[in-house]
Amino acid sequence: MPHTPPAVPAPPAAARDPRALLLPAGRALDRLDLPGLAVADLYDTAGAAFYDAFVGEVSADVVDLLRTAVAQRGPALDLACGSGRLTLPLAQRGLEVTAVDLSTAMLARLRDRLQACGTAVASRVRTVCADMTALKLGERYASVLLAATSIVLVPASRRPAFFAAVRRHLAPGGLFVFDYHVHDPQALARQPETVRVLPAPHGPGFVLSFQHFDLAAREETVNFYVENITTGGVTTRHLYTTRKQIFFWPELQADLTAAGLRVREHRRAGRAGTTRLVVCQALNGGDLR
């Protein structure tokens, strides 16, 4: 399938200014004038490379979504596909996949990875640069997938529009599958800030991960400060930012129902015990087979 041009323009640059998402620690680091420090959105060009290295190519968290989509047999719509952690295994198992993401950098990485897979796999994937909350492809799919707990990237005010978009892309009998992280509101209130030190995902270096949970605003802000020492002994410094939504299951469930999506499964997934897998079907959806 051919690669298509953007279906929906990206949001204005101001709305995506990464400096607007700097936490106090991130702002302090930014003000230090550290040589070469670059501040970027986690899903822009430099951030996309870090995200991929940090998360890793293969991950157990996409297995349930993969299994469901393969069992559905028909074409899959991979929303917020990133560089294809789920898209690639879907296409490798013979499914036609439409892979949607807002980040041109992420999609460019996906296309590079597809090229390395060979034409048979690559020809089964179509990439679309679009906002998934306003998606109108005019097509229907046996499965609509949203992996990596990416539902956190949909603002609460956009959730009804997002679920409506999901529903209009479901074929009769089609399934919408996504996962999400369960928050403990008391734990967040007790400890609204966390700082972790981690090894840098590539080369010698380290990552400082700052998280801030604003329970009243229902927003989590994440800053990653990454220092790497390159082979020439040069230190590279990056600050990556992203914002996530905090929500609780009854709110999601209400929005799903209002959009005409019926929850067929809602169960624990993963080893940590804090992730849930949700499988939905369109109300009055017929049978695909």
Ligand X SMILES: C[S@@+](CC[C@H](N)C(=O)[O-])C[C@H]1O[C@@H](n2cnc3c(N)ncnc32)[C@H](O)[C@@H]1O
Q: Scanning residues 53 to 92, which ones bind ligand X (CB under 6 A)?
A: 55, 62, 80-82, 85-86
Q: Which of 72, 133, 143, 241 binds ligand X (CB under 6 A)?
A: 133
Give the residue carrying structure tokens 């905090």: 246
Q: How far apart are CA 246 and CA 213, in angstroms?
A: 8
Closest CB 147 distance from ligand X, rounded Å: 4
Please answer whether residues 288 and 281 qualify as being in contact, where contact means their C-beta atoms are separated by less than 8 angstroms.
Answer: no
Give whichever of 151 and 170 is closer to ligand X, judged by the CB atom: 151
Q: How far apart are CA 82 and CA 88, in angstroms?
A: 11
Please answer whether residues 152 and 125 qualify as being in contact, where contact means their C-beta atoms are separated by less than 8 angstroms.
Answer: no
Closest CB 284 distance from ligand X, rounded Å: 27
Give whichever of 29 and 48 is closer to ligand X, judged by the CB atom: 48
The site map against ligand X for 95-114 (x = CB under 6 A) is -----xxxx--x--------
- Which helix or strand (DSSP H or E) is residue 168 part of? helix 159-168
Give whichever of 107 and 170 is closer to ligand X, judged by the CB atom: 107
Closest CB 61 distance from ligand X, rounded Å: 7
Q: Could you tell me which of 206, 241, 246 has the C-alpha nearest to residue 24?
A: 241
Q: Scanning residues 25 to 54, which ones bind ligand X (CB under 6 A)?
A: 43
Three-state DSSP class for residue 123: coil
Strand partners, 194: 211
Q: Is 256 in the site for ligand X (CB under 6 A)?
A: no
Closest CB 152 distance from ligand X, rounded Å: 8
Three-state DSSP class for residue 234: coil
Q: Scanning residues 139 to 178, which ones bind ligand X (CB under 6 A)?
A: 147-148, 150, 153
Site size toward ligand X, by CB under 6 A:
20
CA distances in angstroms from 253 to 85, 86, 211, 232, listed in the order given: 27, 25, 26, 53
Which residues fall within 8 angstroms of residue 256, CB to CB, at 6 or more apart? 163, 262, 263, 278, 280
Give whichever of 64 and 131 is closer to ligand X, judged by the CB atom: 131
101: how many CB neighbours lie within 10 A of its CB? 27
Q: Which of 22, 23, 128, 132 binds ligand X (CB under 6 A)?
A: 132
Closest CB 55 distance from ligand X, rounded Å: 6
Give whichever of 31 and 196 is closer to ligand X, judged by the CB atom: 196
Give whichever of 132 and 171 is closer to ligand X, judged by the CB atom: 132
Give whichever of 147 and 166 is closer to ligand X, judged by the CB atom: 147
Residue, CB closest to ligand X: 82
Q: How far apart are CA 287 and CA 263, in angstroms?
A: 16
> Cα 262 to the chain's mean position, in Å?
23
Q: Could you tell me which of 127, 68, 72 has the C-alpha nearest to residue 97?
A: 127
- Binding residues (CB under 6 A) for ligand X: these are 43, 55, 62, 80-82, 85-86, 100-103, 106, 131-133, 147-148, 150, 153
